[in-house]
């Protein structure tokens, strides 16, 4: 009998793992696309998102901020912050694009009915992702940077405060001649700059004490009709009286933290201010300008700087409610006459644009004097806001338009503020230092700094209600350029042994920050 063979063994098949999905749901590489291509898309998207997150975090790490600023400078750090913002936007954009590409190649491409809706949806969502990424980009450090630079400048002038007796104090003209003691002119400029700058609750008590002692020192060296170039000089000078009066007026402005004067002291402080306003008004020439000395019959004795500093003093006083509401305030017409003189003495330069020179009766042919021109534009814009410039509204609008165009684009020998070196300032020439018929008097060879007064002018012009849309856009661009150059200017001030440039930077920055608080409450 044939031998029976055992039935073949049937191997039991293990049941399918529950983790395995049917083939229809498994993501497979798209036909014709190598695996490395899809991996590259995935890695690119991941790196983009990682870059975006790092770009947000890095500029705000305090230790890194300090290291970058100390190693490469403040401007380099601001550029890094701007670059980080751009990287964040690009990183999020790359992440979104790569994510959409992976979804398409791994799934949507094999589902024909979803292709068109997916592409439409991804395209429609892209602008919202872009807007979202722009709203999340690192905020510009320009705002905090201004406050940081302001604190550095205030600390610098504090280091150069010198006591001048039990109740007096002041500021040196320069840190390398400290043995000479404080100087009245420099002290008045520094006090004006410190008071124009916004105060802080932390340092206000010390600021008030030093302002009071500085003003007491200035009062102690007063001559019968003002102050001269040197303490005790018998010949008094209009622009120094103007700076002292500006400081006295700003000390009467209200402060949210602590006023300079107590209510009992306000009366004597106003009396001193009106004494000096009366002296300045008495120095005004018949046709509205001021010269460095008491008025004479010679119109050529009038000077632009003497006029603009006197106007600053009157405007600072007028801005104080305590002063403007005083029955002794009768100087609005003096301000209007000064503005008229400035308007009539704008000089046409070589390229045809108008501006101002130290001596309006001597036409120069060497470049421009942006520092003085900007100081005049600041004062005229202030007058326009406070009192109006009729009948010179149209003429001032023309001056304003030309001024803003030249600041932005430049013109001939006039360098735009984006390219202009910070030390490209004009100075009083030897031939302009003398007054006909006054052989015993010589004007100081002042340097007219363009940066601080251009900051003040651009800021004050921004408050005008008469600007065209183009002028307002131009002012926004100019303000941004000037603010980004502030670290560069601050560095120069900190390295300078002379104090008045720091005082003027404080003044211009203070005007800008106070006006910004009004425009953007």
Q: Model confidence over 1-38: pLDDT tens digits?
A: 555 566 665 555 555 555 554 554 445 555 556 777 77
pLDDT of residue 438: 86
Which residue, among 91, 82, 8, has the nearest Cα to 46 in the 3D structure? 91
Q: Give the best-scoring range by mean pLDDT among 98-107, 123-132, 459-468.
A: 459-468
Give CA–CA dist 371/448, Å, rounded: 5
CB 457 within 8 A of CB 383: no
327, 314 contact by CB (below 8 A): no
Q: What is the pLDDT of residue 228?
A: 94
Average pLDDT rounded to a whole number, residues 109-125: 75
Q: Please report, to the nearest 10 degrees, the dihedral formed by the alpha carbons of residues 412, 417, 418, 420 taken in order.
A: 70
Q: Average pLDDT of 429-442?
A: 85
E strand residue ranges, 102-147: none
Angle at 190 between CA 163 and CA 304, to 5 degrees: 140
- What CA–CA distance (Å, rounded) separates 394 from 401? 11
Could you read off the pLDDT of 303-362 as tens digits, one per residue?
999 999 999 999 999 999 999 999 999 999 999 999 999 999 998 766 556 899 999 988
User: What is the distance between the alpha carbons of residues 87 and 133, in angstroms, rounded to a whole number?
Assistant: 11
Q: Which of 96-100, 206-210, 233-237, 444-448 has the lowest mean pLDDT?
A: 96-100
Query: Higher-confidence residue: 334 or 156?
Result: 334
Q: Looking at the DSSP assignment, which residues form a beta bridge with residue 498?
A: 174
Q: What is the mean pLDDT of the chain?
A: 84
Q: How many CB atoms lie within 10 A of CB 385?
A: 16
Could you tell me which residue, 165 or 291, shows the higher pLDDT? 291
| Coil/strand/helix, residue 229 | coil
Statement: residue 455 has pLDDT above 70: yes
> Are 75 and 488 in contact, with CB atoms under 8 Å apart?
yes
Cα pseudo-dihedral 427, 405, 501, 295, rounded to 10: 50
Task: pLDDT band for 186, please (50, 70, 90 cuts).
Answer: very high
Q: Which residues contact 349 (CB under 8 A, 6 or more apart)?
A: 355, 368, 414
Give the CA angle between residues 385, 388, 389 to the nearest 5°: 120
The pLDDT tens digits of the residues spanning 189-208 come to 999 999 999 877 788 899 99
Show the tokens assigned to 437.
């018929």
Q: Which range among 92-101, 246-255, 488-497, 509-518 has the greatest average pLDDT? A: 246-255
What CATH number is given for 142-519 in this structure?
Answer: 1.50.10.10
pTM: 0.77
For 28, 32, 46, 61, 133, the CA distances from 35, given in Å and listed in that order, are 10, 10, 17, 39, 30
The answer to whether residues 245 and 273 touch, using CB atoms and an 8 Å cutoff, is: yes
Task: Return the pLDDT at 293.
Answer: 95
Which backbone phi and psi does 224 adopt, to 5 degrees? -55, -30
pLDDT of residue 47: 80
pLDDT exceeds 80 at position 299:
yes
From the number of C-beta atoms within 10 Å of its C-beta (0-12, 13-18, 19+), residue 482 rates as buried
354-409 pLDDT, tens digit per residue, is 899 999 988 776 668 999 999 999 999 999 999 999 999 999 999 999 999 999 98
Q: Which of 286, 285, 380 is nearest to 339 (CA)?
A: 380
d(C-alpha 11, C-alpha 298), whole Å: 124
Query: Range(s) for CATH 1.50.10.10 in the chain?
Result: 142-519
Task: Please state the rounded mean pLDDT for residues 232-255.
Answer: 95
List, in sequence order, every residue forming a beta bridge with 411; answer none if it has no partner. 414
């Amino acid at each position: 009998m044939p031998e029976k063979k055992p039935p073949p063994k049937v191997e039991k098949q293990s049941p399918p793992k529950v983790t395995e999905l049917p083939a229809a749901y498994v993501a497979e590489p798209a036909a014709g696309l190598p695996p490395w291509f899809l991996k590259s898309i995935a890695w690119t998207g991941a790196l983009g998102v990682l870059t975006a997150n790092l770009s947000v975090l890095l500029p705000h790490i305090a230790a890194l901020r300090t290291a970058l600023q100390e190693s490469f400078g403040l401007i380099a750090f601001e550029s890094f912050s701007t670059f980080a913002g751009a990287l964040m936007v690009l990183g999020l954009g790359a992440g979104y694009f790569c994510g959409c590409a992976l979804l398409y190649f791994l799934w949507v491409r094999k589902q024909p009915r979803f292709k068109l809706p997916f592409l439409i949806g991804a395209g429609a969502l892209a602008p919202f992702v872009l807007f979202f990424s722009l709203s999340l980009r690192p905020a510009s450090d320009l705002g905090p940077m201004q406050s940081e630079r302001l604190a550095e400048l205030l600390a610098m002038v504090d280091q150069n405060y010198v006591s001048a007796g039990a109740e007096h104090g002041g500021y040196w003209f320069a840190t390398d001649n400290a043995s000479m003691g404080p100087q009245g002119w420099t002290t008045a400029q520094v006090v004006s700059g410190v008071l124009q700058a916004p105060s802080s609750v932390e340092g206000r008590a010390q600021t008030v004490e030093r302002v009071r002692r500085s003003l007491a020192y200035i009062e102690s060296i007063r001559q019968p009709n003002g102050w001269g170039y040197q303490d005790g000089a018998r010949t008094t000078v209009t622009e120094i009286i103007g700076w002292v009066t500006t400081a006295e007026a700003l000390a009467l402005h209200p402060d949210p933290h602590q006023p300079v004067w107590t209510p009992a002291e306000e009366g004597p402080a106003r009396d001193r201010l009106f004494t000096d306003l009366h002296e300045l008004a008495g120095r005004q020439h018949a046709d509205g300008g001021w010269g460095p000395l008491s008025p004479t019959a010679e119109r050529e004795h009038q000077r632009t700087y003497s006029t603009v500093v006197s106007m600053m003093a009157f405007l600072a006083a007028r801005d104080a409610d305590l002063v403007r509401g005083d029955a002794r305030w009768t100087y609005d017409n003096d301000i209007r006459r000064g503005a008229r003189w400035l308007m009539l003495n704008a000089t046409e330069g070589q390229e045809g644009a108008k501006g101002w020179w130290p001596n309006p009766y001597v036409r120069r042919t060497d470049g421009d004097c942006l520092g003085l021109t900007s100081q005049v534009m600041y004062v005229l814009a202030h007058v326009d806001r406070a009192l109006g410039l009729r009948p010179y509204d149209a003429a001032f609008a023309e001056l304003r338009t030309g001024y803003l165009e030249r600041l932005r684009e430049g013109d001939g020998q006039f360098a735009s503020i984006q390219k202009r070196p910070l030390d490209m300032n004009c100075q009083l020439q030897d031939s302009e230092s003398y007054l006909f018929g006054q052989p015993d008097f010589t004007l100081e060879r002042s340097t007219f700094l363009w940066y601080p007064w251009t900051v003040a002018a651009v800021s004050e012009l921004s408050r005008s209600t008469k600007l065209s849309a183009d002028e307002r856009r131009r002012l926004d661009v100019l303000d941004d350029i000037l603010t980004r150059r502030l670290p560069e200017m601050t560095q120069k001030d900190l390295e300078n042994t002379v104090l008045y440039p720091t005082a003027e930077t404080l003044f211009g920055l203070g005007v800008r920050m106070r006006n910004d608080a009004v425009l953007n409450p």
